Amino acid sequence: MPKSHRELKREILELLAKEDLPSLLEKVLRYPPRQVVNPLIGALCRDDVTRFKAVAAIGKVVAHLADQDMESARVIIRRFMWMLNEESGGMAWGVPEAMAECLANHRRLAEEYTSILISYIWPEGNYLEYPPAQRGVVWGIGRLASFHPDLLIRYQAPLRLLHLLHSPDPVVRALCVWAYGKMGPAVVGDLRDSLVETLKTLTVEQPQEIILLDDMKIMKWRFDQRVLENILQLFLDER
């Protein structure tokens, strides 16, 4: 007898609460992708650690689904796009991160939707003005640097991101620096000199401790003046 939505939701929330990330991913992938994706999306509005566990799981589940049925995977990505649309109402917590993780895990999805993800931080694109949403997109760009750096170059992610180094939100600024560190000189390319001059104008008055998914670990990343200077030096060494 198939499990009810309530039973499935309860099981997934228990896994998210109890399992470490490798064990969670192994167990989540045992479920039919179309059934498990909804309770995972529902968990995106929870605390930061749970959110990133759900993000990592969604990325794997949707990539697995895309290998079986690409159009069904596209439907989920389009659902994320709708959730980020102002007409959907409310704040789509964790949705930019989930969308980015799906793209990170599947090349064909990345080729189709990376330009749209980047457009969310471009004032002339589908710009998201709410800083928590911007944080998710910026993290997603940094995440894609480890998987599809060529697509970030193709769609000018380093240029589109530059203005957010002046964001009034300190977490957005911190994540921008993290994302540029992930992209590195090879992706930043001819924008390097402009980026260096912008980074030189920044100071970290209040260190930030940010929960994020990096590689396949959920970690607390501390952003302070030393980290800023180290990432600036990364680009200075290439001049």
Q: What is the pTM of this model?
A: 0.95
Tell me the pLDDT of the chain averaged across its residues. Answer: 94
- 20-74 pLDDT tens trace: 999 999 999 999 999 999 999 999 999 999 999 999 999 999 999 999 999 999 9
- 113-146 pLDDT tens trace: 999 999 999 999 999 999 999 999 999 999 999 9
Domain 5-236 fold is Leucine-rich Repeat Variant (1.25.10)
Residue range 211-228: average pLDDT?
96
- Give the domain ranges of the chain: 5-236
Residue range 106-112: average pLDDT?
98
Does residue 1 surpass a pLDDT of 90?
no
DSSP string, 79-146: HHHHHTSGGG-S--TTHHHHHHHHHHH-HHHHHHHHHHHHHTT-TTTT---SHHHHHHHHHHHHHHHT
Rounded alpha-carbon distances, angstroms, from residue 80 to 116, 135, 208, 217? 11, 16, 28, 23
pLDDT attached to residue 5: 77
Residue range 147-154: average pLDDT?
98
**Calpha distance 204→170 (Å, rounded):** 9
Residue range 172-177: average pLDDT?
98
pLDDT attached to residue 239: 63
DSSP string, 153-174: HHTTHHHHHGGGGG-S-HHHHH
